[in-house]
């Protein structure tokens, strides 16, 4: 995968030979001084690049150090029924995406994982693990972002829907109805349409919210004051 | 100076005793799991804080390593007449601030310095060094930003203007004229009004442009294609 390195400030480059040919005619002394300044700039640029590399190494080191705690947390979370669907349904932006039937489906979600790629800058993937369920046969649904190039891309697992259980199809038909009805222009709520949407991978707000807000601390969204929960997801369970 | 540390993601805090009293009544097993998750979160938070500290240390280290090159660069720049006024006059944002007479005054500027405070987050200062000049008696004019608190402040050197040379006064009178004339609502161009302006220190665009764009690489603004310079500052010199 090609990635973009740290981008130090650009400068009007003095030509290969080190002359300042393209600029005004300077006297010899000024010309010499300008070349010396350019030399300083090159040293500064090299230090900037080294600083970026070291910071990246620190970030990578701490990603590794955090990993076992995220894994341990995931194991504990599995013991709590409906942890993720509750956290999703309580999250302001994520809940706005959840259609009622989709929320039913997410009751089968057992685990969330967010992995930054090794070099951090080039992208990340979000994995949704599911137990055996009536909706699809996949164990894991992954949405993956490749952002390291000038042409960012995302891709996601092809979902093997069970007969008559295709929630993307039903979201599309809701979408069609909306277009014909009075709610034209409104976006249809759908987690699975988001999952399959790859239009603007570098601006995927929901993915970013899951990565930067939900994943770092889901407990705050699982734990909400009683009063909110009573009107929330808890009631809908059988 | 009090400073704000890195702010890790906040979580709905479980009370001091470690109980989850404020949330719903959970069965004993879930309660235990939630406390274990909270324990993981605390470990993750501690790692986040350590990561921020290490990154800060890297930044401080490279600030120190870059410093001698910036100092050397400043010494070389002194050999080039009108380096800074030329760079200022060629910079899109900074030049927009320069009144004609102010530009004359900046011909006496010999040195620019930008210093981040040791802990980086808490602020920075910009120093404008001047040679003996007909406008004021100060050698150095400093504008300093203290941004580490919830109440950011800036301050600047009191300028000892020579008789009838006060450029702040003339900027103010231009301002008055503008208010009465047809150009109402337009900001008056003035480097020295900016220098004395402390209204919104955390949003001082000009200071940030000097710190983050001019200071890292002034050569690119000193060196401009001939055609632009011919209509620019060079012609105005005697």
Residues of A in contact with B91 (CB under 8 A): none
**How near does any CA of chain A get to the CA of B47, in Å?**
7
**pLDDT confidence of residue A178:** 82
CB contact under 8 A, B20 and A73: no
The pair of three-digit structure tokens given for residue B56, joined into one six-digit string: 């800060």
Q: What are B7's two structure tokens?
A: 């702010």
Could you read off the pLDDT of A172-196 as tens digits, one per residue? 999 888 888 766 666 789 999 999 9
B219–A11 C-beta distance less than 8 A = yes
The pLDDT value given to residue B186: 66
Q: Computed from CA positions of residues B21, A91, B44, A75, in that sequence, does the dihedral angle turn out positive or negative?
A: positive
Chain B residues near residue A38 by CB distance under 8 angstroms: 219
Greatest mean pLDDT range, A2-11, A227-236, B1-10, B29-38: B29-38
Which residues on A lie below 8 Å from B29 (Cβ)? 79
CA A56 from chain center: how many Å? 18
Query: What is the distance between the alpha carbons of residues B122 and B197, in angstroms, rounded to a whole number?
Result: 19
pLDDT-derived band at B121, boundaries 50, 70, 90 = confident
Contacts of B23 in chain A (CB under 8 A): 223-226
Alpha helices in A14-156 (DSSP H): 28-77, 83-90, 92-95, 100-106
> Residue B67 to residues A40, A165, B116: CA-CA distances in angstroms?
11, 64, 11
- What is the Cα–Cα distance from A104 to A101, expressed in whole angstroms? 5
Q: How far does A84 lie from chain B, in Å, by closest CA?
A: 13
Give the closest of B44, B54, B69 to A40, CB-based. Answer: B69
CB A15 within 8 A of CB B223: no
CA A49, chain centre distance (Å): 26
Q: What is the ipTM of this complex?
A: 0.76
Write out chain A residues lying below 8 Å of B12, CB-based: 219-220, 223
Instruction: Determine how many CB atoms are found less than 10 A away from the CB of residue B237.
Output: 11
Q: How far is it between the farthest Cα atoms of chain A? A: 87
Closest by Cα among B215, B127, B77, B84 to A11: B215
In a mutagenesis test of the B interface, which of A62, A218, A221 is the best target, namely the one with the most B β-carbons within 10 Å?
A: A62
Q: Three-state SS for A127?
A: strand
Q: Which residue of B has its CA nearest to A72?
A: B40
Task: Give exposure, A39-64, as e/b (b: 16+ Cβ within 10 Å).
Answer: ebbebbbebbeebbebbbebbeebbe
Per the CB < 8 Å rule, is B219 touching A12?
yes
Q: What are phi and psi of A155, to 5 degrees?
A: -145, 155
CB pairs under 8 A between A and B: 133
The DSSP letter of residue B136 is B
Which residue ranges make up each domain of chain B?
A: 24-77, 81-236
CATH ID of A80-236, from 3.30.1120.90, 3.40.50.300, 3.40.50.920, 3.40.50.720: 3.30.1120.90
Residue of A nearest to B227 (CA): A24
Query: For B12-59, how does the pLDDT look when each residue is reduced to its tens digit (9 = 90+)?
Result: 444 444 444 444 578 999 999 999 999 999 999 999 999 999 999 999
Q: How far apart are CA A181 and CA A189, in angstroms?
A: 16
**Three-state secondary-structure class, residue A155:** strand
For residues A209 and A214, what is the distance between their CA atoms, to the nearest angstrom? Answer: 6
Q: In the prediction, which pLDDT does B182 show?
A: 67
Neighbouring C-beta atoms of residue A123, cutoff 10 Å: 22
Closest Cβ opposite residue B76 in set A10, A36, A219: A36
**CATH number of the domain located at residue range(s) B81-236 in this protein:** 3.30.1120.90
Burial label for A118, CB within 10 Å (0-12, 13-18, 19+), is exposed
Is 50 exceeded by the pLDDT of residue B11?
no
The CA angle A221-A225-A226, to the nearest 5 degrees, is 120
- Tokens for B143? 């504008």
- Residue B148's pLDDT band, with cuts at 50, 70 and 90, is confident
């Amino acid at each position: 995968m090609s990635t973009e390195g740290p981008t130090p400030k650009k400068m009007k480059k003095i030509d290969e030979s080190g002359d300042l040919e393209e600029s005004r005619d300077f006297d010899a002394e000024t010309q010499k001084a300008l070349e010396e300044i350019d030399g300083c700039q090159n040293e500064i640029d090299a230090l900037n690049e080294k600083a970026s590399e070291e910071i990246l190494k620190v970030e990578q080191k701490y990603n590794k150090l955090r990993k076992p705690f995220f894994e341990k947390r995931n194991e504990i979370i599995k013991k709590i029924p409906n942890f993720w669907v509750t956290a999703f349904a309580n999250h302001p932006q994520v809940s706005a995406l959840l259609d009622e039937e989709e929320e039913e489906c997410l009751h089968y979600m057992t685990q969330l994982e967010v992995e930054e790629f090794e070099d951090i800058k080039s992208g990340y993937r979000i994995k949704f693990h599911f137990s055996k369920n009536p909706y699809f046969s996949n164990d894991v649904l992954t949405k993956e972002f490749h952002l390291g190039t000038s042409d960012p891309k995302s891709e996601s697992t092809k979902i093997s829907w069970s007969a008559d259980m295709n929630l993307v199809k039903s979201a599309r038909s809701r979408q069609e109805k909306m277009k014909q009805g009075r709610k034209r222009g409104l976006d249809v709520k759908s987690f699975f349409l988001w999952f399959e949407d790859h239009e603007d991978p570098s601006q995927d707000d929901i993915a970013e919210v899951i990565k930067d807000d939900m994943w770092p601390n889901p407990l705050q969204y699982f734990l909400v004051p009683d009063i909110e929960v009573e009107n929330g997801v808890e009631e809908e369970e059988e």
